[in-house]
A and B are shown apart, each in its own frame.
Chain A
């Protein structure tokens, strides 16, 4: 069974608009960590945002925020005021048993 599921292979958004990328995960642990990574075309994978499961408050990093629903095991990423530089593959990831499990990714295209 897939540990991390991203059900949207591709998405697009108009520049300056808001977009939400979905992610669900599976774990039996009570304390864990979730991440969104961004991988621009032919460029380095970088960490966008992280969430500790024991924290109820949703993490935010500038234009990036998450909607963490622990009971539903959902961890969506919202990008506000989308910019052309946000065009990338976005991977949701979960640390479980000391290993990082990635989803299959969502390819986001920001349209001028």
Chain B
């Protein structure tokens, strides 16, 4: 199991505010991911990173941005929150083992409510 942390766990914020969702992992995994998940629904990949200074957009268009300055840290930023951003945001990191392939491990998630 990977140790992966997300803060805050819950956030209620007004429209137009800038917010940063934190994600960190202590396992030294190179690959990290951000998913958006509406309650009881499937996950949608919004950003991922192969390592330091690498960031890529995922399948779901998102107005958020990410950065990867350190291996262990992969924050997600919304410059101007809107009610349509209300969702759960899951961070994940993955390890690759020869003969076993890649496995993703998830953080506890951040539930965001934009009023």
Interface string of A75-112 (1 = CB under 8 A from B): 00000000000000101000100111011110100000
B-contact bits for A34-58, CB 8 A (1 contact / 0 none): 0101000001111100101000000
Question: What secondary structure prevails in chain A residues at the interface with B?
Answer: strand
0/1 string, A5-44, CB within 8 A of B gives 1: 0000000000000000000000000000101010000011
* A105 with B42, Cβ < 8 A, contacts A44-B109, A99-B58 known: yes
Q: For the complex, is B100 an interface residue (Cβ under 8 Å from A)?
A: yes
Chain B interface SS verdict (over half): strand
Q: Are B42 and A104 in contact (CB under 8 A)?
A: yes
Binding site for B on A (CB under 8 A): 33, 35, 37, 43-47, 50, 52, 89, 91, 95, 98-100, 102-105, 107
Asked if residues A52 and B40 are in contact (CB atoms below 8 Å), the reply is: no
User: Least Cβ distance of B88 to chain A in Å?
Assistant: 10
B51 at the interface (CB under 8 A from A): no
Q: B46 to nearest A CB, angstroms?
A: 12
A104 touches B41 (CB 8 A): yes
- Name the residue of chain A whose CB is nearest to the CB of B105: A47
Residues 22 to 40 of chain B near chain A (Cβ within 8 Å): 31, 33, 40
Provide the residues of chain A in CB contact with B59, threshold 8 Å: 99
Query: Among A44, A52, A98, A103, which residue has its beta carbon within 8 angstroms of that of B42?
Result: A103
Q: Are B102 and A44 in contact (CB under 8 A)?
A: no
For A41, the closest partner residue in chain B by CB is B40
Q: Considering the chains assembled together, what is the distance between the CA atoms of A95 and B40 in angstroms?
A: 21
Given contacts A47-B103, A91-B43, A107-B40, 6 further A-B contacts (CB under 8 A): A35-B103, A37-B106, A44-B109, A46-B106, A100-B33, A100-B45
Nearest to B90 among chain A residues (CB) is A45
Q: How far is the CA of A104 from the CA of B41 in the complex (A)?
A: 6
From the candidates A44, A95, A102, name the one contacting B108 in the complex (CB within 8 A): A44
Q: Which residues of the other chain, A, contact B31 by a CB distance below 8 angstroms?
A: 98
Within 8 A of A (CB), among B43-84: 43, 45, 48, 58-59
Cα A107 to Cα B48 in complex, Å, equals 27
